[in-house]
Chain A
Amino acid sequence: MTMASKAFSPAVALPADWRDFIALTKPRVLSLVVFTGLCGVLAAPGSINPILGFTAVLCIALGAGAAGALNQWYEADLDALMRRTANRPLPAGRMDRQSALHFGVGLAGFSVILMGLAVNLLSAVLLLASILFYVLIYTVWLKRRTPQNIVIGGAAGAFPVLIGWAAVTGGIDLLPVLMFVLVFLWTPPHFWALSLFINSDYAKAGVPMMSVVAGPRATRLQVLLYTIPMMVAAIAPWPLGLTGQVYGIGAVVLSAIFLLLAIRVGVSSEADPAKMRAERQLFAWSILYLFGMFGLLVADRALFA
């Protein structure tokens, strides 16, 4: 809560602070989305006017922020039950739901229209698809119904690289599709590592995460099983001749570290969340890994394209 709202309990609802609107967009998630979108723009062949490239990345950020706001609008009841999310603007009572809905819908519409008018139609369509996928398929449909929620929902987070690429080229090629698959397959080990050490939060909120429904042992195995095709997708652009050695060798090294950490999670039988060091390390590494992979892609294209 902000200091001001902590100081007293008002008899009337206070208007939300502007910082709460920023919090509604999930800024930390946004950083990865913006980075992968930017890498899509930078790695694509051809060129784009820097202003239009900036606009494309801005629209990706605004669209992702809108999806985050609509997710929080729909999940306020769940967020209130989980320690990790209880202090978000809606469950903490710092904002009314209608403001969040209007903000999310307005931002989504604005980002898609601006993308369509300033950049191109394909990137606008992909942006709209990613917002709808995250809000309707993941948030509304899957999240509360199946432990496969983040497997299928992972596609929503994989869109930005396609959008960035489409913004420059007006089309889609094999390389951004492989990077899309990489993010898609990266999502389960990333989230399931997290869910292992905050399992009680998900169980309390009734979210059917893999660790809640199938238990930690099955989740550990699934983390390991998803890591292998993820590595294949990560390294594939090199033997397929889509990237050079910088990306290829870097992808092998980063993926090998990911695999080692996933094996440690896979063979662990630690039951105390406070002692789950391997799970926390995999979760932390998975974030660095994705930044690293996309950074390598851009570096490689800059050197060899």
Chain B
Amino acid sequence: MTQLTPEELAEIRRRQRSRSLAMALGLGALVILFYLISIAKML
């Protein structure tokens, strides 16, 4: 198995964190959008 250097490991963790955060923000925005669409469709 390939041995990761501490720099590589830190970079992987940083990217995982930033992708998770982007995903969370995207999903949060979709929740709000779906809620608003539901309201708009009822009007």
Residues of A within 8 A of B40 (CB): 49, 51-52
Contact yes or no, B33 A49, CB < 8 A: no
Closest 6 interchain pairs by CB?
A51-B40, A18-B22, A49-B40, A51-B36, A10-B8, A118-B37
Known: A12-B2, A49-B43, A118-B41. A17 touches B18 (CB 8 A): yes
- Considering only CB atoms, which chain A residue lies closest to B11 in the complex? A4
Which residues 1-43 of B have a CB within 8 angstroms of A?
A: 2-5, 7-8, 11-12, 14-16, 18-19, 22, 33, 36-37, 39-41, 43
B18 to A: closest C-beta gap in Å: 6
Contact yes or no, A55 B37, CB < 8 A: yes
Residues of B within 8 A of A52 (CB): 37, 40-41
B21 to A: closest C-beta gap in Å: 8
Contact yes or no, A14 B12, CB < 8 A: yes
Residues of B within 8 A of A16 (CB): 15, 19
Contact yes or no, B15 A8, CB < 8 A: no
B29 to A: closest C-beta gap in Å: 10
- Considering only CB atoms, which chain B residue lies closest to A117 in the complex? B37
A15 at the interface (CB under 8 A from B): yes
- Considering only CB atoms, which chain A residue lies closest to B18 in the complex? A18
Contact yes or no, B15 A17, CB < 8 A: yes
A7 at the interface (CB under 8 A from B): yes
A14-B8, A18-B15 are known; give 14 further A-B pairs, CB within 8 A.
A4-B14, A8-B5, A11-B3, A11-B8, A12-B2, A12-B4, A14-B12, A18-B19, A51-B39, A51-B40, A52-B37, A52-B40, A52-B41, A55-B37
Contact yes or no, A15 B37, CB < 8 A: no
Known: A7-B7, A8-B8, A10-B11. A15 touches B2 (CB 8 A): no
A195 to B: closest C-beta gap in Å: 35
Q: How far is the CA of A199 from the CA of B7 in the complex (A)?
A: 41
- Considering only CB atoms, which chain B residue lies closest to A53 in the complex? B40
Q: Chain B's interface: helix, strand, loop or mixed, by majority?
A: helix
Contact yes or no, A11 B4, CB < 8 A: yes
Contact of B19 among A4, A12, A15, A49 (CB under 8 A): A15
Residues of A within 8 A of B36 (CB): 51
Known: A17-B18, A18-B18, A18-B22. A12 touches B37 (CB 8 A): no
Residues of A within 8 A of B15 (CB): 4, 14-18
Q: How far is the CA of A51 from the CA of B4 in the complex (A)?
A: 47
Contact yes or no, A51 B37, CB < 8 A: yes
Contact yes or no, A15 B7, CB < 8 A: no
8 contacts between A and B (CB under 8 A): A8-B7, A8-B8, A12-B4, A14-B15, A16-B19, A17-B15, A17-B18, A18-B18
Contact yes or no, A11 B2, CB < 8 A: yes
B35 to A: closest C-beta gap in Å: 10
Chain A positions 4 through 35: 1 when the CB is less than 8 Å from some CB of chain B, otherwise 0: 11011011101111100000000000000000
B3 to A: closest C-beta gap in Å: 8
Q: How far is the CA of A51 from the CA of B33 in the complex (A)?
A: 8
- Considering only CB atoms, which chain A residue lies closest to B36 in the complex? A51
